[in-house]
Chain A
Amino acid sequence: MGLSRQLRLTFVVTALAVAAFSTGLNFLFFLLYLVGVLLVGAWWYASRGLRGMRAGYHVLNARAQVGDLLQAVYRIDNDSGWSKPWVEVWNDSTLPAPLPGRAIGVVPRGSRQWLASVTLPRRGSFRLGPLRVRTGDPLGLFSSEMTVGQPTWVVVFPQVHPLPYWQLPSAPVDGSLPARRRVEAMAPLVRSVRPYAHGDAINRIHWLSSLRHGELHVKEFDPEQAADLWILLDLERGAHAGSGDGASVEAAVSVAASIAVATLARNRAVGLTVSARRLHTLTPDRGTRVEQKILHLLANVQADGAASLAEVLSEVAPQLRRGMTLCLITGSTQRDWVRALASLPRRGVGSLVVQLDRASYAGTADGETQSEVGAMRHALAEYGIPHHLLRAGDDISQAIGGRERIRA
């Protein structure tokens, strides 16, 4: 009961009592008794409401993607001999759209069970509070409540788009092309053999094939089969725009997740660096475990970084090994990082840029912003860096993994 209603009731009851005991009028006593019986009866009704009740719930999928359904099964048992006309069952949570509660009646010595589901519209980690069960008297004067269980965490991963035609750009690793100087790096996988060409390394000669063919043959390596993918997700605050589900950061995270999952599915090692408020790094690895780690990290990051892309690149670059490919996802139109990116092929590191048109996500696309984007693409093309352009509303599967590719 609210305080004002309590005060009003207290005043009415006191006035009734004084009037009744002063006058002895039967109807005043009737009112006094009625108010007393209602208050006492309602309090007793509410306090006994949850006697003999048991409740519980479990979440069927504590990890899901954006757009998936979060499902939980609830159960409530009434072990007493009294029916419960209504009990209210719900969880407090930090979910954007909470799990729907339920008001339900339970017969004596009966139980009810139901499935509750809610669509997960946003990525992140959300707390699902303990189960709360409440009931009260029919007049709404008193209520009793119990809390069951412990809080649970639900992690919503970013949406992963299928990239059926996604091709990892190759790194300039030796064995695939003739080179005039001695190269020391070795790719782990031999794809085929070919005749010796001037400039091939002596240690590449495949002697068995050479004997068979009667001339020198050298091994040819599959750099794509051997290459790790390192995703660098630029989450500098100034590189992103928009808000809510249509913000550029969501697209960037979704692209990173999609690329990581698609690459891991091809048994490649994927590493991840995210330049959020802190620099998060996951070293390249293969398997479902690293997929979970990547998606978990991507579920919780926000565009709150302060370091520029150039600074981050300079920190990440030393970790890139020969044969790796760096996939840079950014909305930045500053060109200071392009030169740093352009130096990577000399180290045998491939690169790919997914450029987000920040202005389109902010809804402020105009001539100036378009020319900035155009200048960036021109700069990337100059250095032969393959890149994709992603605008607000573009289908990521098509933009990144479609048949049409922007070639450097």
Chain B
Amino acid sequence: MPEWLSHRLHPREGWLSLLLLAIMLVALGWSVQRAGWLDRLDFVIPVAGWALLVGTLLALTEWTILLALPIGAACGAWVVLASVGSEYVALANPGGQIVALREQAVSWLLILLERGTGPQQAPWALVLGMVLWASAFVAAFAVYRHHRVLDAILLIGALLVINLSATFADLFGYMVLFSLAALLLWLRAALVSRQEAWSLRRVNQNADVPGSIMRSGVGFILGAIALSWTMTSVAIAAPLTGVWNSIDPLWSDLRGDLDALFGNLGTTQTRFPGSGFASRFTISESFTGGDQLILRVGAQRGYYLRTVTYDQYTGHGWVSSDGIQRRVAAGDPIFPGPTPERPYAPDAFEVETITVSVMEGVGRSLFTHGYPIEAFVPVLVSESGGVPVLGQLEAASVIDVGTGYQITAAVSRATEAQLAGASIVYPAEISALYLDTTGITQRTIRLAQSVSGLGPSGDPERQDPYHLAKSLAAYLNRDPAFRYANNATLPDDPERDLVDFFLFDSRAGFCEYFASAMVMMARSLGIPARMAVGYAPGERIEAGVYEVRGSNSHAWAELYFPAYGWQVFEATKSIPPVVRAPGVGVAPPVNPPAGGGDPPDLFPGGVEPIISSLPSYEPATGGFIAGEEPPPVAPSQGNGVLVLVGVLALIAFGAWRWIRARRSFRFLAPADVQWQRLALAANRAGVSRSSSETIYEYAGWLEEQLPAHRVDIRAIADGKVLQSYSGRWIGAEAVRLLEHAWRRLQLPLVWLAVRRQARALLRERI
């Protein structure tokens, strides 16, 4: 068999390494699929598999990297486009699929640049496919061309860690599978390296040695994984969580930017509080809720649990205007100062403290019913547009599964009569944020007017904002022209306004469509309205206990009524509308407190709110049980702990290296010490001494590498020769000269190491 063929059929790493790489990539692919970032992810495994194959074959060809990389990229482009196209484009013709993908990508990019992420998922699929292709290709190339197994493991491992970090889905098993494959790959690579070294040094190996090493290695790895798994299940802590509090504003800004970019990714399992409940989102073309239990709520009745509200409509989605974010300690008022959201109509609300237990990861998202008064866990309040209105409510720390929080809120009990009599003089802050109708089409306005009956032709007794809104909600909720659908149709023209498209063309969609239409139509009638997201009322399990599932994830419209606050208007078809007590007639409007003074006490007469609890409820980090004393606040350690840990680690490492070096020189004669230092430093620079070289021969070669330091090198060599062969002990003066010579050589040797390393890297790449 020709040598070139033999070399390719029997690569140095063997085909077992390919199998182990494949297992690692399969673990990564499965974890991505399980995380559910996109609706369709079947292309992940085939793309990774093809990349592994192409990378391996190109690595074995020994073609220069300037040729192999473009070929790999071309193959990758073809495979990714074909895989994603076959899954995301309903065309059989590959050419048509590519054209359709290109159009989707262009429109997505345009929307991204103008107003936030677009609704299409195919561009994200392309990006994911390219990342997977590149990673698998580079990993295979690193192993089979450069024999750098650790780099391949770190690359794939980093992607897996990022994926696991970004989702709450239980992907621990994939990490174990990956670890097992990675360690076996490392074991195999270590054996191959060892065998090569033996071959170079003419060390023969017995036939049983490789098998013996592999067996002992496999046992060692399995034991290590089992022990680590056991330790993980019994010992986990997060004492450094508080250290990061001081960088929370930076992290929140970053999360906000990430939300803007990734807001369209549909999973609710993400660890980034945003995707699903982000500060901005784009209305997607499908909704997948899932049946998993998310929250268990202790409450008197089922509430709409809100976490984020949106004031700006982009034509394709919603944005919660940037504002300030402030931290509120557990037990403190969420709005300590005046806010137009606070209800002040007497007998129109009741205050209840509900208990929420998190059953599946929700990140920092905090869900509240009604107007939040206080939370019994540290929270971050985002105020939209810089005014004291609730934009987003989050916990200060991630709420661990199994823990929860309690929150006290004022829930509206306003009757229809009261709402119908509400004032139409809105606070300036509310008008500025929640009456914006930018982008709304004229026919939407006309439809709103005709549906609500606004105008001389309508019922004069139903011209108040409440009845107008109720008509709008009824129209959307009950008109047979509209249809609830988990998969909606998007307009072909990406510039088309989505509400207009929904109202006049598609007439089918899920909660986001109905709620958006409701909000914009209400605003067109001059009623302040906002979009709210969170969870619809869950299923009552027993008295006082409700279970909220993934399918309860919901978006709805909230309309503002002075003195009564925000009121929920359910417009989504297939969900029962909100029922209010009718009341008597039309109540007179409730005026705001005279002179801008404090509104009536939320707890008149010292009455405590109703507390609805849960059995075996455990407060989240920093939280406490309502009615009990708050725990003492641990002093913030700041970032000093992190810095200290890093510095200590570096010092410990440096000390260990220094002690090791010192120990190895302890018993050497003075001239030998300098010679050993020189030899070690030169060895690190890749200029090592061969066993058959004499001292002067080696020194001569070193002088060629560092011609400017011939004198110093020769001095150390002379000292070594004198020390070793003359039988005399060199004097203190000579020792001092040698030490000076060594000091002058230290930096040039470091520079030599850097130069040689850089040259070697360049040679390797080319």
Contact = CB atoms under 8 A, between A and B. Distances in A.
Interface in B638-655: 642, 645-646, 649, 653
Contact of A139 (B190, B198, B215): B190
B216 interface: yes
Contact of A14 (B164, B193, B220, B646): B646
A246 interface: no
Interface stretch (A100-108, A210-218, A277-285): A100-108
Nearest to B158: A12
A101 B202 contact: yes
Interface string A2-37: 010110101010100110011111111111011001
Nearest to B154: A12
B579 interface: no
Interface residues of B, number: 60
B339 interface: no
Contacts of B1: none
A318 interface: no
A138 B228 contact: no
Contact of B209 (A30, A85, A93): A85
B175 A21 contact: no
Nearest to A17: B645
A26 B236 contact: yes
B706 interface: no
B250 interface: no
A24 B236 contact: yes
B201 A21 contact: no
Interface in B197-229: 198, 201-206, 208-209, 212-217, 220, 223-225, 227-229
A68 interface: no
Contact of A85 (B204, B216, B235, B243): B216
Interface string B22-42: 000000000000000000000
B216 A30 contact: no
B208 A140 contact: no
Contacts of A38: 183, 224
A138 B229 CA distance: 21
Interface string A76-107: 00000000011010101110011011111100
A164 interface: no
Contacts of A85: 209, 212-213, 215-216
A22 B175 contact: no
Nearest to B176: A30
B208 A30 contact: no
B239 interface: yes
Nearest to B195: A103
A21 B204 CA distance: 47
A374 interface: no
A90 B215 contact: no
Given A26-B236, A34-B228, A140-B194, A101 B209 contact: no
Contacts of A37: 224, 227-228, 231
Contacts of B206: 102-105
Interface string A119-142: 000000000000000000111100
A138 B237 contact: no
Contact of B238 (A14, A24, A103): A24
Contact of B150 (A5, A18, A21, A104): A5
Contacts of B645: 14, 17-18
B383 to A, nearest CB: 28
Complex A-B, nearest 8 residue pairs according to Cβ-Cβ distance, in ascending order: A138-B217, A24-B238, A140-B190, A101-B203, A85-B212, A33-B228, A103-B205, A34-B228
Interface of B: 150, 154, 161, 164-165, 171-172, 175-176, 179, 183, 186-187, 190-191, 193-194, 198, 201-206, 208-209, 212-217, 220, 223-225, 227-229, 231-232, 235-241, 243-244, 398, 400, 642, 645-646, 649, 653, 684, 691-692
Given A41-B220, A42-B220, 7 more contacts: A8-B150, A23-B165, A27-B172, A85-B212, A101-B202, A138-B213, A140-B193
